[in-house]
Structure 1
Amino acid sequence: MFDGMQRRVVSIWFPRLASDRALRLRPLEGPFALTLHQGNTNRIYCLNRAAEQQGLSRGMPFSDARAFCPDLQSRPSRPNEDRQFQLALRRWALRYCPWVGLEDDDGLVLDISGAAHLFGGEAELLMDMRQSLSRAGISAAIGLGDSRGAAWALAHYGEGRAEVGQALDALQELPVAALRLEEKTVTALGRLGLRSISDLANAARAPLTRRFGTDLLMRLDQALGQQPEQITPLKDPPHYGVRMTLPEPIGHSSDVMAGTERLLTQLCAKLHAQETGARVLCLTLRRVDQDNQQVELRLARPMRDAKRILPLFERGFGDVDAGYGIDQLRLEAVQVEPMPVQQLSHVSTGGKDRLDDLITRIGTRIGLENIQRFLPADSHIPERSYIIAPAAFSVPNSGWATIRSRPLHIFPPNPLLGSHDIPTPPKHFRWRRMSFSTARATGPERIAPEWWLEDDSWRSGVRDYWCIETRQGRRLWLFFTPQSPSWYVHGEFA
């Protein structure tokens, strides 16, 4: 800020930030609320204006809200998406000034000192903000003052603008809660008859300090501009991109590989400094005729080792048309993930690295999503004891935690042919047009249905499983259903 320039701060409060975000994606008419599960109860997290007019409020149990307003429509809240929406609004606010910070979970604070004249003045700047937010369907209250505290108070309790040097005149009728005080402090001040900011400003300071400490008067002085309060803007996220402009056009793949190696070395140094790894890399090759060729590399794991990444680019270079030559190379990490530094161990990880590189090579041909692995799931039902997940986006588990071994092949239950209605394993049976004789039977293992899931195949009741070793060499997994006596084959061991 230049010497002698009066500081001016804008506070923007979004009272319905979460519900506005949700309704922008899927508009609805009538009362609407987002719910959040807290303390074994669904509560109102955020609601629109129509729901507020029905007497609903934040924190109200959702069951009570539906009783008051039967037409209430709801969706589950997503706080992470609300945070991203707030960050997007911050990027929008950078058009007004370069000094923009976040205010709690539902606001922004801007230091517009020396920037208002670019929009024709403070009134025109505030009008432009309101119109832009209104067109986007976002509810907002805006305050402007000499300090952050004054702007916050005006935005939350009396939307308006305080003239330069006249903060007390603009704030004097507002309640003391506008000073960002704790609720218990506001209640105690009310019992003393100090309900407005003017009451607090005209009271003796020494007794207030002895009773409430220094924080109360510090908040008052900050709002009146007598105590400084900093605005900390968010740092722009690091940009993971490097570029090389060549003095002479190149066209051989070996030259492109050499240039890519130099770019990878620079990019991996940036990634290492930020403790991140690249998951998706994009190499842009600009030709002399201004046409661009792109080579995208999707990695199975976050990586920042230039020597490992470089060979993975080779296949992509085969589809590049250099034309009359390439005069610029640009490499960017399009998607990055945290990759903190790890303690070195005597156990080698070379095998895992080679597997990740193999998944990457195959994934460039058929897609990383098509390379899948089995992972254990938390269920004792055989069909539900595993899930299938993309290998590039999952971590292998140590193994299945089961008391009894499970067959390698599990298929839909096949009934045994013949009359088998006793709970002991049959000595002779037919299955798939083949005759078998039981040599050894191990069991039973009783498995009960998961009553909280709807599965028609398990509604008949419990099953008693047996591992049957036949004289013909097959090892089968059979079960008996006591509630409707019969035997089935459910799997086969290797």
Structure 2
Amino acid sequence: MSDRTRKRILSMWFPRLPSERVLRRRPVDAPFALTLTRKNTDRIHCLNPQAERRGLHRGMSLADARAFCPALVSQPARPDLDATFLASLRRWATRYCPWVGFEGEDGLVLDITGSAHLFGGEDAMMQDMRARADRAGLTLRLGCAATRGAAWAFARHGEGQRPLDALPVAALRLEDKTVTGLERLGLRTIGDLAATARAPLARRFGPEVLLRLDQARGDQAEAITPRTEPPRYAARLSLPEPIGLFDDVIAATARLLTPLCEKLKTHESGARRLRLTLRRVDQGSQQVDLRLAAAMRDPARILPLFERGIGTIDAGFGIDQVRLEATLVEPLPIQQINATTARTGPDRLNDLITRIGTRIGLENVQRLLPADSHVPERSFIVAPAAYTRPQDGWSCPRPRPLCLFPPEAIAGSGPRPPDRFRWRNMSLATGRATGPERIVPEWWLEDENWRRGLRDYWKVETRQGRRLWLFHTPQDPGWFVQGEFA
């Protein structure tokens, strides 16, 4: 078998990835560590070599670390940003081979079979990797072998300076408690483990030990699953002659919307944010951003929404390139339709919200949504209409007024509504009263308006035609008007 077809796996390990991600932007000439909160205790998550030389290590509590090293500089770790940074390193590693996958939270695995010769061989390839990582301020450990397990072991336990059987059993990607149990039996190296009877090992430690051993030695296959790049929803149009008229830009945008929406439809997705970039002949550019109230992929609906933004651009001496990109995409499954299906109400409402939102901002177009509370003031929430969906009506056994306002005191005494009262400079007479409906304050929340205690609500129909919502406070006797029915 030739060198180009022989299976070769390369493991890349970044032992200080979280701390070096931070220090690349803000270098610190002092012991430095990142911390994570575990079981209500701040513990060291990652640290630089200066901190290690002071005797600090991962898992140590931050309080103990500061006692050992008062000059320690620390800040909270950001695992989400570390994952994003590792994803960018994965894209960088595809320059060496197309099959690149993740190996835990701080490593990558590459299938370099047939590609190492393009860089002058495995040694030259790994030397290039180390040089580039060093220039980027990253610590890199490499391991290359015929199996994924062996490559992982070499990267973390000697970079191939020793044979596989001489490496410790911790190099088999086993749990710490399993490694401790094996070492107590005197099985300290992979060679010791391979020379031991398999049946007793399986009974005592389970099948994982033998599986990891077989994967490292090549007796059990282990696949590398590369991460596929997410689809990119963008289209570009280079023009032979500069344009500047409004109708020409609209026509170019319409031409780009068609393939973009077709790609969105193929992936059953819809655009929530679109960016139109117009490059002028003087190399300047202008952008028109469009935020949609709902995911869309219909060019006929999207194009009119661009008109307001396009009308404000300055074409200068002309536009020679137009680029359209969907910067935010959401799932939009295909729905069953028939020949008589027309544009639905929600689609028209979303288009209206988008049009209004382009003028005043989508966050300022709001709707009321029901909330789980018996207290009238808390029975609804105000939310942006573009990021919420209408819900079913309020679930309430008693009717609620269409108009709700802060309580307004009226003259009255006794537990029943007054026969006559004056409200907002109007003299009203009670015709019919329905109630009471007792509502108790939510004791776990502090609300100044409910300090009078529980309320007895009444629906009062006046002889003058007003239909009001009154309540009485028994603990501190008083009558108030809080709402009006339609």
User: What does residue range 391-430 of structure 1 map to in structure 2 within 5 Å?
Assistant: 391-417=385-411, 420-430=412-422
Structure 2 residue 133 is matched with structure 1 residue 129:
yes
Q: Give the corresponding residue for 1:247.
A: 240
Partner SS for 1:426? coil
Q: 1:381 aligns with which of 375, 395, 398?
A: 375
**Structure 1 residues 131, 254: closer, same or farther in 2, change over 3 A?**
closer
**Structure 1 residues 323, 32: closer, same or farther in 2, change over 3 A?**
closer
Q: Distance in 1 between matches of 2:273 and 2:457?
A: 47
> What do the CA deviations read for 1:43-74 (whole angstroms, capped 9, x no partner)?
6697536999899959xxxxxx8999999xx9
Q: Give the corresponding residue for 2:71.
A: none
CA contact 1:19–1:48 (8 Å) conserved in 2: no
Deviation at 1:322, TM superposition (A): 3.4
Give the superposed CA RMSD. Answer: 4.4
Q: Give the corresponding residue for 1:12.
A: 13
CA contact 1:415–1:488 (8 Å) conserved in 2: yes
Q: Distance in 2 between matches of 1:430 and 1:468?
A: 13
**Structure 1 residues 191, 324: closer, same or farther in 2, change over 3 A?**
closer
Q: Distance in 2 between matches of 1:78 and 1:400?
A: 41
Q: Give the corresponding residue for 1:274.
A: 267
Partner SS for 2:394? coil
Q: Distance in 2 between matches of 1:231 and 1:195?
A: 28
CA contact 1:244–1:330 (8 Å) conserved in 2: yes
> What TM-score results when the alignment is normalised by the length of structure 2?
0.79
Partner SS for 2:429? strand
Residue type of the alignment partner of 1:293:
Q
Partner SS for 1:48? strand
More deviation in 109-118 or 146-155?
A: 109-118
Q: How many pairs are equivalent? A: 466
Residue type of the alignment partner of 2:464:
Q
Structure 2 residue 343 is matched with structure 1 residue 343:
no
Q: 1:294 aligns with which of 278, 287, 295?
A: 287
**Structure 1 residues 490, 154: closer, same or farther in 2, change over 3 A?**
farther
Q: Distance in 1 between matches of 2:455 and 2:408?
A: 14
Partner SS for 2:431? strand
Residue type of the alignment partner of 1:303:
M
CA contact 1:427–1:438 (8 Å) conserved in 2: yes
**Structure 1 residues 471, 490: closer, same or farther in 2, change over 3 A?**
same
**Structure 1 residues 46, 66: closer, same or farther in 2, change over 3 A?**
closer
**Structure 1 residues 2, 273: closer, same or farther in 2, change over 3 A?**
farther
Structure 2 residue 150 is matched with structure 1 residue 150:
yes
**Structure 1 residues 162, 67: closer, same or farther in 2, change over 3 A?**
closer
Q: Distance in 1 between matches of 2:15 and 2:191?
A: 27
Q: Distance in 2 between matches of 1:304 and 1:424?
A: 59
CA contact 1:445–1:466 (8 Å) conserved in 2: yes
Deviation at 1:211, TM superposition (A): 8.4
Q: Distance in 1 between matches of 2:75 and 2:395?
A: 37
Deviation at 1:303, TM superposition (A): 0.7
Residue type of the alignment partner of 1:272:
K
Deviation at 1:456, TM superposition (A): 2.3
Q: Give the corresponding residue for 1:458.
A: 450
Q: 1:431 aligns with which of 423, 427, 438?
A: 423
Partner SS for 2:372? coil
More deviation in 450-459 or 353-362?
A: 450-459
Partner SS for 2:393? coil
Q: Distance in 2 between matches of 1:467 and 1:155?
A: 77
More deviation in 442-451 or 220-229?
A: 220-229
CA contact 1:13–1:141 (8 Å) conserved in 2: yes
Deviation at 1:312, TM superposition (A): 2.0
CA contact 2:44–2:57 (8 Å) conserved in 1: no
> What do the CA deviations read for 1:318-360 (whole angstroms, capped 9, x no partner)?
2233344433222211221111223337875522211111112
Q: Distance in 2 between matches of 1:349 and 1:102?
A: 45
Could you list the runs of 5+ residues in structure 1 that have no partner in the other structure? 37-41, 59-64, 135-139
CA contact 2:432–2:460 (8 Å) conserved in 1: yes
CA contact 2:45–2:58 (8 Å) conserved in 1: no
Partner SS for 1:380? coil
Partner SS for 1:244? strand
**Structure 1 residues 131, 378: closer, same or farther in 2, change over 3 A?**
farther
Deviation at 1:208, TM superposition (A): 5.8
Partner SS for 2:483? strand
Structure 2 residue 469 is matched with structure 1 residue 472:
no
Partner SS for 2:225? coil
Structure 2 residue 483 is matched with structure 1 residue 491:
yes
Deviation at 1:478, TM superposition (A): 1.4
Q: Give the corresponding residue for 1:357.
A: 351
**Percent identity, aligned pairs only?**
55
**Structure 1 residues 306, 124: closer, same or farther in 2, change over 3 A?**
closer
Deviation at 1:375, TM superposition (A): 1.1
CA contact 1:145–1:167 (8 Å) conserved in 2: no
CA contact 2:275–2:288 (8 Å) conserved in 1: yes
Deviation at 1:269, TM superposition (A): 0.9
**Structure 1 residues 490, 277: closer, same or farther in 2, change over 3 A?**
same
Residue type of the alignment partner of 1:144:
G
CA contact 1:35–1:77 (8 Å) conserved in 2: no
Partner SS for 2:261? helix
Partner SS for 2:263? helix
Q: Distance in 2 between matches of 1:392 and 1:449?
A: 33
